[in-house]
Chain A
Amino acid sequence: MSAAAIVGVGWRTPLGRDVAGAVDRLLAGDVAAAPLTRIPAASYQLRRAAVVADEPARSKHARFLRRMALHAIDAAGEALTAAAAAGVVTGPRVGLYAAVGGLRAHWDDIMAALARQRDDGADAWARGLGTIHPFWMLRHLSNNAHALLAADSGARGDGATFGGASAGAQALAAAIRALAAGAVDAAIVVAYDSLLEPETLVELGAREGDDVVPGEAAAALVLVAADDPRGAGRVRVRAATGADGERGRPADRTVAAAVDRVTVGVAAATPLDVVGAMGELGAAASPVQAIALAELLGRGGHGPRALATATGAPGLVGAIVVELPGDRPGAPP
């Protein structure tokens, strides 16, 4: 299992946008779950959530992207700024790997088009669909954040957008593999998800009761190959995904198999869970974990390695290992 060095990070989480500050809150035992006030949820079964409090920066992309995707682009900008300080310049050999949990459409934009619709859907165009905004479809294009970030960042190399519950781990794993294969010289990983949309809350509540705290987050990492001098002394990350075909949470053996894969060649790692305090983060879970664990390890006192898993309801699992590098001064071999 290959590793990559983390040279830039950025995130927006329910515990804050500043990585060090959010990790301070984690260590202090803060929990982000709170009564949901961002949207009218009084009639919903789920009324507590972990919400990103900040609004994204004003952006020309707002006509295409929803809030959490805009946060992801902001976070990627911060990660790239940090990476630039390490000598990473975007260009033809920089890859871009994006992860989205779901593509929630801009439903608010088509309410006027629904007002005169018949129950059987007859004459739907004449009854309103002909009035929807020409960009409505573009706004929930599966890879629109990817495309706009590619334009902004100058990343022109390999890349893909992954979707679904373990998409963040898939994007991380794809980036690490591309670096190891020499397909790209640096890789941007960006992931975002929000479970705080009305229809998601309704369906999640119906399916899982109030046992779950829906959350939201955006995270971005810039990676270079583990043996790249620009990553010398930086924390490393490995990622693996797994599935077992179950419709509910993945079986323990599935999680164990993913952990086995991600820890090949890695000595025992300390399991740490940093996402629970921020709610269910969906596709953003693994990248958020990677950033949080990198910060924790960088501070010392937590051992040289940490392991985290993120599981999705449809039998999916992502596993990451974050470790201090052997070339780090004072780091354990």
Chain B
Amino acid sequence: MTRRAVITGVGAVSAFGVGVDALWTGLAAGRSAVGPIRSFDARTFPVQVAGEVPVIEPDADWVIEHAGHPQIDAVADGLEGIGGLRDRKVAFALAAAAEAWRHAGLDVVADAHVVLGLGLEHASLEDLVAVFDPATRHVDWAREPAAPLPELRFRQPLDLAARAIAELLGARGPVVANVSACAAGALAIAQAAARVERGVDVVITGAADSMVNPLGVAGMARLGAPSPRAALDACRPFDRHRDGLVIGEGAAVFVVEDEAHARARGARPLARVLGWGATQDGFRLTAPRPEGELAARAMTAALTRAGLPATAIGYVNAHGTGTPLNDPAECRALHRALGAHADRVAVSSQKGAFGHLMAAAGAIELAAALLAFERDLLPGTAHLTERDPDCDVDVIGPAPRPARIDVLLSSSFGFGGQNAALCLGRWR
């Protein structure tokens, strides 16, 4: 019997707040959650707005309050004791995972796998300053500062959030950290679905990321990727006047499960994972192929795996970064992959509403796209006022569009040209 992957649980932490309902309600209202950075003093930074999760410091108490899981006290306290929660994405991942698990209605599934997309290792500016030696004008890594540094200080383990989720949920299967930059979340979900098709009953997947810290924002600002405008509408995907992205943070976690397994326990799936595809541009670290050829191939691979024609797609949840280069390249990719259907299919990007979650972008945007199945609403494109003629697709404006669709396509493109596409179907 063919095994089919379905999504039976979702949890989200975003600039809209903790919980997928906060995300869906905000998007359904056509709101944007981008605002001034509050978790550190960014007043002298050229980038002063972000899609920041509304918490200054997500400590153990915050995680315990928002995760609401019987095991969370021990896990959160343990992480806080070694400094693990200073990496905001770890806290967000735990809250989102606990929500997804509750949503799925699962108890302990000992052989569950964890496949999580994750961003860069967290580093704290304060820790580096604490061991900086003015005499040598260099950090003395072995120096003991007056205030002891936590056990995890200069180099938080890359896969810490994935392991923390496994510990929280009692999952004892393989733990995989996908670190394929901004495509990591989408690729993790694809890998999770593939594992289910191969025989794993339950996979906890999704992604978490946060670069809303001094070093993260400074690095991105110097790179020139964020919009230089410190305005709430700084990110305007597909708009003629777009000038860059807005940094976001958060997590989205899904329970991907074998359909028969879900049916047997009476679960109501949210969607089917029908297909996926991945390619590599092999072009430049910071620019996509302008003609979108390889991105299109990833979309085509997703459709092929789903066994669907392009005309089956009712909505495209675009990567849509709001950068000058990405958006037109993505539209060309859509035309290549979908042909004439690209003129008709509805397209939107949520990065103007909650920012670019980097490694978690594909995951949070897939959670947003579930609005299409849950509420028959296609999320809008915040701050779009004048569509760029180079982005010649049917871009949904700031307000969500009521529509009943059965199949959606979600794209994610990473720095360095890592392309991923996911195809989801309504479950019935």
Report the minimal beta-carbon distance from A91 to chain B, rounded to whole angstroms: 10
| Stretch from A9-17, A78-86, A106-114, A273-281 contacting the other chain | A106-114
Contact B172–A243 (Cβ < 8 Å)? yes
Cα–Cα distance between A156 and B180 once the two chains are bound (Å): 15
The reply to whether the CB of A96 lies closer than 8 angstroms to some CB of chain B is yes
Other than the known A143-B180, A164-B159, A247-B78, what 17 A-B pairs have Cβ atoms closer than 8 Å? Answer: A102-B157, A111-B137, A112-B137, A123-B43, A125-B44, A134-B224, A138-B415, A142-B120, A151-B284, A153-B282, A156-B297, A161-B180, A162-B176, A162-B178, A170-B176, A203-B153, A243-B163
The reply to whether the CB of A129 lies closer than 8 angstroms to some CB of chain B is yes
Q: Which residue of A lies closest to B279 (CB)?
A: A156
Contact B155–A200 (Cβ < 8 Å)? yes
Contact B132–A117 (Cβ < 8 Å)? yes
Interface residues of A in 133-148 (CB under 8 A from B): 133-138, 140-144, 146-148
Find chain A residues with CB under 8 A from B418 CB. 143, 146-147, 159-161
Contact A138–B280 (Cβ < 8 Å)? no
Contact A163–B177 (Cβ < 8 Å)? yes
Give B213-228 as 1s and 0s: 1 = Cβ < 8 Å from A's Cβ atoms. Answer: 0110011111110000
Contact A114–B128 (Cβ < 8 Å)? yes
Report the minimal beta-carbon distance from B293 to chain A, rounded to whole angstroms: 9
Contact A154–B125 (Cβ < 8 Å)? no
| Stretch from B138-146, B313-321, B362-370, B391-399 contacting the other chain | B138-146
Contact A137–B220 (Cβ < 8 Å)? yes
Cα–Cα distance between A81 and B369 once the two chains are bound (Å): 44
Binding site for A on B (CB under 8 A): 40-46, 78, 114, 118-121, 123, 125-126, 128-130, 132, 134, 137-139, 141-142, 151-155, 157-159, 162-163, 166-167, 170-181, 184, 187, 191, 194, 198, 214-215, 218-224, 277-286, 294, 297, 359, 414-418
The reply to whether the CB of A155 lies closer than 8 angstroms to some CB of chain B is yes
Contact A202–B159 (Cβ < 8 Å)? no
The reply to whether the CB of A100 lies closer than 8 angstroms to some CB of chain B is yes
Q: Which residue of B lies closest to A122 (CB)?
A: B41
The reply to whether the CB of A244 lies closer than 8 angstroms to some CB of chain B is yes
Report the minimal beta-carbon distance from B96 to chain A, rounded to whole angstroms: 18
Cα–Cα distance between A179 and B242 once the two chains are bound (Å): 41
Find chain A residues with CB under 8 A from B180 CB. 142-143, 146, 159-161
Find chain B residues with CB under 8 A from A133 CB. 222
Find chain A residues with CB under 8 A from B121 CB. 102-105
Whether A202 touches B142, Cβ cut-off 8 Å, given contacts A124-B218, A133-B222, A314-B157, is: yes
The reply to whether the CB of A228 lies closer than 8 angstroms to some CB of chain B is no
Contact B172–A245 (Cβ < 8 Å)? yes
Find chain B residues with CB under 8 A from A140 CB. 120
The reply to whether the CB of A29 lies closer than 8 angstroms to some CB of chain B is no
Contact A244–B172 (Cβ < 8 Å)? yes
The reply to whether the CB of A157 lies closer than 8 angstroms to some CB of chain B is yes
Find chain B residues with CB under 8 A from A247 CB. 78, 167
Give A162-192 as 1s and 0s: 1 = Cβ < 8 Å from B's Cβ atoms. Answer: 1111110010001001000100000000000
Q: Which residue of B lies closest to A246 (CB)?
A: B167
Size category of the A interface is 35 or more
Find chain B residues with CB under 8 A from A201 CB. 141
Find chain B residues with CB under 8 A from A158 CB. 277-279
Contact B280–A155 (Cβ < 8 Å)? yes
Cα–Cα distance between A102 and B297 once the two chains are bound (Å): 30
Contact A177–B125 (Cβ < 8 Å)? no
Contact B279–A146 (Cβ < 8 Å)? no
Find chain A residues with CB under 8 A from B78 CB. 247
The reply to whether the CB of A269 lies closer than 8 angstroms to some CB of chain B is no
Cα–Cα distance between A155 and B294 once the two chains are bound (Å): 11
Q: Which residue of B lies closest to A123 (CB)?
A: B44
Contact B219–A157 (Cβ < 8 Å)? no
> What are 10 A-B pairs with beta-carbon distances under 8 A?
A44-B142, A103-B158, A114-B128, A115-B137, A119-B126, A121-B125, A136-B222, A147-B417, A242-B173, A245-B163
Whether A203 touches B154, Cβ cut-off 8 Å, given contacts A114-B132, A150-B282, is: yes
Q: Which residue of B lies closest to A158 (CB)?
A: B278
Interface residues of A in 180-217 (CB under 8 A from B): 181, 197-203, 206-207
Contact B159–A165 (Cβ < 8 Å)? yes
Choose one: A43, A142, A202, A240; the contact of B181 (CB below 8 Å).
Answer: A142
Find chain A residues with CB under 8 A from B171 CB. 245
Q: Which residue of B lies closest to A244 (CB)?
A: B172
Find chain B residues with CB under 8 A from A206 CB. 151
Contact A125–B166 (Cβ < 8 Å)? no
Give A240-267 as 1s and 0s: 1 = Cβ < 8 Å from B's Cβ atoms. Answer: 1111110100000010000000000000
Find chain B residues with CB under 8 A from A242 CB. 173-174
